[in-house]
Every structure is written in structure tokens, then in C-alpha cells.
């Protein structure tokens, strides 16, 4: 197929007559097919794509796991993960096959090679393969090695592709991340690897591009001349749930700051890319990450707050503290909350403080980016007439109520010229009624098409780990005190003191 690129950088050869991007024929191989991720995210997303006519007719899935299923049992399992009335999905599931075996056994990959050849012949998938690593992270390197030993890491022929989709976490620190990258690159080229972070597929994250680069009213003020400070909040009302044992080895810094927070900062603060090409966008993201001002391990005590939730109440229901969660040590020092003061040392953002915070068991589930603008140089109605006036702010709500709000001053009706802050709201659900595509729908389709724009490149991963490495070192060696906070609150008082010491206050999502 001839590639045709329009002036927005879109490959028109992947668009059909109604504007739906349709991949070439392919087989999706899901390693860890019997696991939670496959059943909860991957299969439902594929079912929705099928019902939207976004999958090619020549499409098949091979589920690979240690658990035994017959082909028919697996097909029926997949059908149940789709919508109740999904005739296209139900039909496509007839092409699905299942392969049981041990990932450490090279014979598994030999059998996979033979099965894929059979599917190419019977379904017409043309030798195109995507391998999705939905296993535990410790198996990533082994699966890549097994694919390489069977020659499945290379395209089956001219014009075909072999791609590897890798779920986070991409290592547990800078060293382990680099080891993993070396293991993956031993068998797959960088352009074959698609590192997936579901945050990157959310509509509000994608709308950052539209907000920044399609609206000339924002471009002149998106810099240090007009921006006073920036806040990023990634709040979860849930605790660690059934992941206590995992969280003990992770913590909030690894689990959220290293990936989600760094990605949001990179997208919102990067320089405008030359085009919407994947390389151009990811180049700018890496430049931003490299420009970030991170407190050293010695400075962490002054610039970073780490906390852990205790017992409290969420939505009126009592919940236990972190140390009482299943799988958690009763004397655990693992942080469930992190707040930090960061910065960016470049021409656009030099001197603008950036405050980030993330935590579990906070008052509300909310992810948002807020940009607070400089105050006017002079207020002719100062004093009590403007006591309710806060700084102008632009807030991008990423989840759960996707939208944008603009806070600005307005006169309160009445005889006095009293001014207070009001908010002008844009809601995705109101402006675009109807179902919104799940992040996995968008990212799976992008991987099938070969659009890497929303996937994480190796140098992005490496730089993000470099950015959090001093804080991790401080936690491990200097062991700064662990602040306590009640479940259902907005975090420890020490985090309030961190931002208030600079004359600012946290914006708590309403």
C-alpha cells in the first residue's frame, strides 16, 4: 500500500472511507492471556474495536499462558469479555487460538511459530505479528528471548512487521531499567518496541496537543513571563487493594511519579514539535525531561515529602491504614504519598516552581494539571473588595471528569465593585455526548497501525528514571521521616507546608 501523508502528518493510507483507521491483517499474541490485564482491559478493548469496524477482517488472537484451555474454551472466554450483543466480535473470536506452556521452555515458541503459520494460511493474516507482554515484568526478557530463539522477533517477509508491546513497569530503578532495555534490544529493534502507559491514551491527555497547538490565545502565555507556578495532582481514593505485596517493593514514587507524572509534565511543558510525527513529539518530550530540575539526594528533605496513609474514612465508610493491608509489613516504611517541588531549567520555564503530588486513600480520585498565572501588577479595588480573588488558573482534568476549567476574576452582582474568582468549565461528556473510547482501545489500535506517538521511547524511560533516582537514593539511604495522613484527607500537613512556604496553596479538586 502506498503511504500518503497529509499536512498534519497523518498516514492517509490507514484511513478508510468513513475516517476510521484500519490496520493491515495481523495476529495479536497475548502472553499472559489468562491474567487479569487481558480479561479486564485487552479483550474488552479489542471487542469494542471489532464492533466499531476498526479491526481488519483478517485478524486473529493467540492466547499464551501456563493455564490450559482448549481453543473452543478460549474463544468462548473471549466472547464473554465483549459486549452482550456483539455479533462482529463473536464471529472474529472464531479465529482465536490458545497455546499452553511454560515460558522457560523453548518448545513453546517453536509451537507458536507453527501455529502462526497455520493462522496465516487459514485466516490470511499475512505474516504480521504483534506480541503483547501482559505477564509479570520478570518474564519480559524471557519472552523476548524465546521469540528470538524461534526467529519470531523478525518480520516474516518483505512488507510485514513484528512488534513487541510492553506493559509498565519498565524496571524498578535506573539500573534495572537499563538491564531490561538491553535484554529487549538484544532481540528487538527500538522501532519494534511499543512501551504502553494507559495514561497516554486518555482523551484529555491527547487534548493537550489541541489545547496548546490549535489555539493561538494560549501560545503567548504558555511560559515563565505569565505563569507563576504549576501543580500536578494524581490522587486516588483507593488503597493498595490486593496489591499490597507489590506495593511494598514499589511505593508511590516508582508507581506514579516516574511514569504518569513525568509523562504529563513532558507533554504540557515541552516545546512545540515540528509536526505531529511520533519522532518529533518524542524528541521534544525527552528534551523537556532532560531539562528538569530535580532535588539532589541531600536536598530531598527540604524539597520532597513522603507519607503513608493511616485509618480513616472514604465516602463515609471506615477504611484501614496501609500497615494493616494484606501483604503489607506492620512496620512498613513504604510511601503511599509523595509531594515534591521540581522545576525546568530552560528558556521557557526557568524559575517557575512545579509542585507535584500523588497519593493513595486521598479524599477524591482525580488527576489534573493546573497552571497558575501571575497576578496583575496593580488592583485598583484592593483590600476587602478582592479578598475572594485567587490567581487566574488553567486546569486540565485528566480523570475522572475529563475537561478543562479556566479560573478568572469576575464582579459579584451588587452595588460594590467586589471581585471574586469564578470558573468557566468545559466538559468532554457535555460537549461530546456518547461513549468515549477507552485508553486501551486507542493504544491497541495505534500499535496495530504502527503509530508510536503515544508510546514511550527507551530514552524517555531512561531519563524519567534518572529524574527520580536522587529521590529514590534519599529514601533508601537518608531515610527521611515518613509523614502520616488519615485516609480520606488530602495528604500530610508537611505537604501543605512544602507549598505554603513559597506563598502558594494546593488546589484541591472539588
Q: List active site positions.
A: 260
> What are the DSSP calls for 441-500, one per residue?
HHHHHHHHHT--TTSBPHHHHHHHHHHHHHHHHIIIII----EEEETTBSS-HHHHHHHH
DSSP element (H, E) containing 310: strand 304-310
- What are the helix and strand counts (H, E) for the chain? 17, 18
Rounded CA gap, 223 and 220, in Å? 8
Alpha-carbon distances, residue 486 vs 309, 368, 462, 507 (angstroms)? 6, 22, 34, 19
- CA gyration radius for the chain? 24
DSSP element (H, E) containing 304: strand 304-310
Rounded CA gap, 209 and 495, in Å? 31
Taking alpha carbons only, the member of 333, 355, 416, 438 closest to residue 81 is: 438
Alpha-carbon distances, residue 498 vs 257, 375, 389 (angstroms)? 17, 21, 23
Contact between residue 494 and residue 302 where contact means Cβ atoms under 8 Å apart: no
Alpha-carbon distances, residue 30 vs 92, 129, 201, 229, 510 (angstroms)? 16, 11, 20, 43, 40
Rounded CA gap, 211 and 428, in Å? 13
> What are the DSSP calls for 370-406, one per residue?
EEEEPPPS--TT-GGGGTBPPPPEEEEEEESS-EEEE
Contact between residue 26 and residue 159 where contact means Cβ atoms under 8 Å apart: no
Please give the grid coordinates belonging to residue 495.
Answer: 505537604
Rounded CA gap, 149 and 110, in Å? 9
Amino acid at each position: 500500500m502506498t503511504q500518503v501523508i497529509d499536512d498534519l502528518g497523518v498516514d492517509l493510507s490507514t484511513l478508510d472511507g468513513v475516517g476510521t483507521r484500519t490496520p493491515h491483517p495481523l495476529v495479536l499474541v497475548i502472553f499472559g492471556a489468562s491474567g487479569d490485564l487481558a480479561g479486564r482491559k485487552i479483550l474488552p478493548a479489542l471487542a469494542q474495536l471489532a464492533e466499531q469496524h476498526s479491526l481488519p477482517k483478517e485478524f486473529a488472537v493467540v492466547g499464551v499462558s501456563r493455564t490450559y484451555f482448549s481453543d473452543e474454551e478460549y474463544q468462548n472466554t473471549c466472547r464473554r469479555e465483549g459486549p452482550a450483543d456483539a455479533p462482529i466480535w463473536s464471529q472474529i473470536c472464531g479465529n482465536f487460538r490458545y497455546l499452553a506452556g511454560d515460558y522457560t521452555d523453548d518448545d513453546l515458541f517453536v509451537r507458536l511459530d507453527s501455529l502462526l503459520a497455520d493462522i496465516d494460511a487459514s485466516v490470511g493474516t499475512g505474516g504480521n505479528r504483534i506480541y503483547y507482554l501482559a505477564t509479570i515484568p520478570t518474564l519480559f526478557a524471557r519472552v523476548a528471548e524465546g521469540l528470538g530463539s524461534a526467529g519470531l522477533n523478525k518480520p516474516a517477509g518483505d512488507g510485514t512487521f513484528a512488534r513487541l508491546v510492553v506493559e509498565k513497569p519498565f524496571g524498578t530503578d535506573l539500573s534495572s531499567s537499563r538491564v531490561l532495555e538491553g535484554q529487549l534490544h538484544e532481540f528487538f529493534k527500538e522501532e519494534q518496541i511499543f512501551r504502553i502507559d494507559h495514561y497516554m491514551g486518555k482523551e484529555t491527555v491527547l487534548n493537550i496537543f489541541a489545547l496548546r497547538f490549535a489555539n493561538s490565545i494560549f501560545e503567548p502565555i504558555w511560559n515563565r513571563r505569565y505563569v507563576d507556578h504549576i501543580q500536578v495532582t494524581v490522587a486516588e481514593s483507593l488503597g493498595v487493594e490486593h496489591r499490597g505485596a507489590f506495593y511494598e517493593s514499589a511505593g508511590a514514587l516508582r508507581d506514579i511519579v516516574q511514569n504518569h507524572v513525568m509523562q504529563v509534565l513532558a507533554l504540557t511543558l515541552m516545546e512545540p514539535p515540528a509536526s505531529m510525527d511520533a519522532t518529533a513529539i518524542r524528541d521534544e518530550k525527552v528534551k523537556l525531561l532532560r531539562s528538569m530540575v530535580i532535588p539532589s539526594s541531600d536536598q530531598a528533605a527540604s524539597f520532597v515529602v513522603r507519607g503513608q496513609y493511616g485509618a480513616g474514612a472514604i465516602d463515609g465508610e471506615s477504611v484501614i491504614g496501609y500497615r494493616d493491608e494484606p501483604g503489607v509489613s506492620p512496620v512498613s516504611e513504604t510511601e503511599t504519598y509523595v509531594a515534591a517541588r521540581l522545576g525546568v531549567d530552560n528558556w521557557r520555564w526557568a524559575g517557575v516552581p512545579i509542585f507535584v503530588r500523588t497519593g493513595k486513600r486521598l479524599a477524591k480520585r482525580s488527576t489534573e494539571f493546573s497552571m497558575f498565572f501571575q497576578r496583575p501588577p496593580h488592583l485598583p479595588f484592593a483590600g476587602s473588595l478582592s479578598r475572594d480573588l485567587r490567581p487566574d488558573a488553567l486546569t486540565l482534568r485528566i480523570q475522572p471528569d475529563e475537561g478543562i476549567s479556566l479560573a478568572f476574576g469576575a464582579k459579584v452582582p451588587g452595588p460594590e465593585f467586589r471581585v471574586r474568582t469564578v470558573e468557566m468549565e468545559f466538559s468532554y461528556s457535555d460537549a461530546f455526548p456518547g461513549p468515549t473510547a477507552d485508553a486501551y482501545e486507542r493504544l491497541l489500535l495505534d500499535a496495530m497501525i504502527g503509530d508510536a506517538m503515544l508510546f514511550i521511547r527507551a530514552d524517555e524511560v531512561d531519563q524519567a528514571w534518572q529524574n527520580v533516582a536522587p529521590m529514590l537514593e534519599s529514601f533508601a539511604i537518608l531515610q527521611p521521616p515518613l509523614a502520616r495522613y488519615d485516609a480520606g484527607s488530602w495528604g500530610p500537613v508537611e505537604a501543605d507546608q512544602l507549598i505554603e512556604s513559597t506563598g502558594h496553596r494546593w488546589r484541591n479538586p472539588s
